[in-house]
Amino acid sequence: MKKDHWEYQIKHTIPPPANGNISLERLINARRVAAQMILKYGDQYEPIFDRLDREITEMENDKNKRDRLLRFAAGS
């Protein structure tokens, strides 16, 4: 019997980093997987996608804010 692709991905997750921080890249990948799951299995996975999307937006905003602060502090 052929293994389902999603079953494989869920069982073979990558452990979180030792420092406990999840990278933006990792969140973006998780959002992509969540979108694929919604398309394949239905809307019950939408809350996961929404949460990941919010987390990504927040991280991007924080990074943009920090970049702006650094520019202002440097006098640019």
* pTM exceeds 0.75, yes or no: no
Region of 42 (left: φ > 0; alpha: ψ -120 to 50; beta: rest) is: left
Which pLDDT tens digits describe the chain residue by residue (76 residues)?
445 555 555 555 667 777 878 899 999 999 999 999 999 999 999 999 999 999 999 999 999 999 999 999 998 7
DSSP 24-61: HHHHHHHHHHHHHHHHHH-GGGHHHHHHHHHHHHHHHH
Domain boundaries along the sequence of the chain: 23-73
